[in-house]
Amino acid sequence: MLLNGWRAAQFSSGIQLGVDATYRLVVEGHGALVLCVADLAQVTHVLGYGIFSQEDETGIRYILTQLKYGVEAVTARYAENGWQG
């Protein structure tokens, strides 16, 4: 873990984006997609979830696009308020 932190500090902006899909969380057979970021302290912050019925490019692209719009909207709102909640 220390090596990962060192690599992030040396070669990146300090924030790592993570996307993962699983079928373990649901009963009906739909998959769950998790979008998160990890900071230099390796603390994970979940940005959003998406549920899909088929794991194909079209579905994953749609989920990621909608999550992107959501993150941009929240970021814009906080920026307008001077980064205060």
Tokens 């989920």 sit at which residue? 63
Q: Under DSSP, is residue 51 helix (H, G, I), strand (E, B) or coil?
A: strand
Helices and strands in the chain: count of H runs, count of E runs: 2, 3
Instruction: Give the pLDDT confidence score for residue 12 in this predicted structure.
Output: 62
Strand arrangement of the beta sheet that strand 16-22 belongs to: 16-22, 31-38, 44-52
Instruction: Give the pLDDT confidence score for residue 37 in this predicted structure.
Output: 83
* pLDDT above 60 (res 28): yes
Please report, for the chain, the start and end positions of each structural domain, with discontinuous segments joined by +: 2-80
User: pTM for this one?
Assistant: 0.65
